[in-house]
Amino acid sequence: EAKILWERIKERQGLNQWRPDLEEEYEDKEGNIYNKKTYTDLQRQGLI
């Protein structure tokens, strides 16, 4: 039982790990806040 419980705990912790592509924030010159993916997409398009 303990091994099964430990596996469940590890799985749940894996779901709660920090994901920089979604959670890392960037700010443009105007003070707008974007996540990393959105910011890099807007940069590539020349919008910021």
pLDDT string in tens for the chain (48-residue length)? 899 998 888 888 776 777 777 789 999 999 999 999 999 999 999 998
Distant-in-sequence, close-in-space partners of 26: CB < 8 Å, separation ≥ 6:
33, 34, 35, 36, 39
Q: How many domains does the chain have?
A: 1
User: For position 1, what pLDDT does the model report?
Assistant: 84
Answer yes or no: is 2 within a domain: no
How many H helices and E strands in the chain? 3, 2
User: Whole domain around residue 38: which residue ranges?
Assistant: 20-48
Answer yes or no: is 37 within a domain: yes
pTM for the predicted model, two decimal places: 0.58
Q: How many C-beta atoms surround the C-beta of residue 43 within 10 A?
A: 13
